[in-house]
Amino acid sequence: MPAGGRNGAPPALRIALWGNFGTLNFGNECTLAAAVAGLRRHLPQATLTCVCPDPADVLARHGIAAVAMSKPDPPFSEGTSKILRLARRLRAELMDWRRVLRVVKGTRALIVAGTGILSDHGEGTLGFPYQLFKWCIVTRLAGGRVAFVSVGAESISSRLGRFFLKTALRLAVYRSYRDTHSASLLSECGLRTNADPVFPDLAFGIEVPAGRTAAPRVTIKRPCVAVGLFNYRGRGKGGASAAADYDAYLGKLCALIGWLSANERGVRVIIGDLAYDAAVGEDLRARLERREPGTAVAPGGLDEMPPASWEQLLAQLAAVDYVIASRYHNVLLAVLLGKPTISVSYEAKNEALMQQVGLGDYCQTLDGLDLERLKAQFLEMERNADVLRSLMAAQMRANRERLEEQYRLVVAELSEK
């Protein structure tokens, strides 16, 4: 066969996209959609595969082949000894390393595509950090390359988690972060990041349908505000303290919605994660139905239909004038659409994002949420809305240009012999 492939055609270029995709988190899904679109623009000849927790969901949503990131633990009958359980788990894990080798054989690159994947929060010893470690090592052993593209780092608390993540990152031929906060956190964990660039979050590269970017909606009588939900304190399932914090959170949300409604603003309730936030919507509805003082909602003043996809979420955000949200990608998509936005965050990544787009004055944290200050921030944001829209539009153009620059860098790195 000729060196170039059958009939002299260029050899197939196989790229695997690795991440927490297919798990009903709309931020992760819009990131994957943006990465797929960007790679298809710059590497149209490439064959894309996704490595993720739920391959069937990725295939249905994104139309690309997908494989499971890991295999489930082997089943055990009742009474199986601890030693036998451990032996079977070790055997199953060795078999999974062999499976990963078969998957990555012939793959040019494993690309870790955005999201806040560099974290061991809630993952345990063998969660995403270990799986990333495994896939990166096997990819390199099989002759492929590893690239981390606009990734985010969040809490990394365990020594083993730090080891897995740092080892995976050190195997990469290209690394970039979505904010300086992520680079600094990894530097504190012992990784040299001073030569690694910072580029915008990949989701800023989403193609927004015509007519959805943000002039104010002048055809309606009153402005509409999207209020985002978050499964704060695990919906209060972690004991008495978590339950009290979650109850207080719901009370503040109800009071905010009541204040907006009383001041002639419509409200659209939004979520960013179908697996976690939909139940918060049910809790909020039940709390509003108790009609506590200051939480009344005018008839027709509340829209709470949960989206089934990131595209539906984008359409919901496009139909409002202002946004108050907690989920990182709810905030990002709102800014992408040019909607003046307040972030009520659960992680420092939100503040980093808001600073980057010029909205640093419109931030609070969930733990320290001050409702009166939030009302004042909202009124100030309304007054400054035209200036903020102009500022965001300029920043979004710059972000898109920077992301195109990054795709060219990644393609050049992957094309080197």
* Predicted pLDDT at 110: 97
* Predicted pLDDT at 284: 93
CA torsion angle 358 361 362 363 (round to 10) = 110
* Predicted pLDDT at 53: 95
224-383 shares the fold of 10-207+400-415: yes
pLDDT values of the chain reduced to their tens digit, one per residue, 417 residues: 333 444 444 457 999 999 999 999 999 999 999 999 999 999 999 999 999 999 999 999 999 999 999 987 767 667 677 787 778 788 888 999 999 999 999 999 999 999 999 998 877 667 899 999 999 999 999 999 999 999 999 888 889 999 999 999 999 999 999 999 999 999 999 999 999 999 999 999 998 876 555 544 444 468 999 999 999 999 998 899 999 999 999 999 999 999 999 999 999 999 999 999 999 999 999 998 888 877 777 665 677 778 899 999 999 999 999 999 999 999 999 999 999 999 999 988 999 999 999 999 999 999 999 999 999 999 999 999 999 999 999 999 999 999 999 999 999 988 776
* Predicted pLDDT at 248: 96
* Predicted pLDDT at 362: 97
Give the model confidence (pLDDT) of 299-330 as tens digits.
656 777 788 999 999 999 999 999 999 999 99
Every domain of the chain and the residues it spans:
10-207+400-415, 224-383
Distance, CA of 164 to CA of 221 (rounded, Å): 55
* Predicted pLDDT at 93: 87
The predicted model scores a pTM of: 0.90
* Predicted pLDDT at 5: 45
* Predicted pLDDT at 38: 96
Fold of 224-383: Rossmann fold (3.40.50)
Among the listed residues 229, 167, 204, the one whose alpha carbon sits nearest the alpha carbon of residue 335? 204
* Predicted pLDDT at 299: 62
* Predicted pLDDT at 279: 93
Homologous superfamily (CATH) for 10-207+400-415: Glycogen Phosphorylase B; (3.40.50.2000)
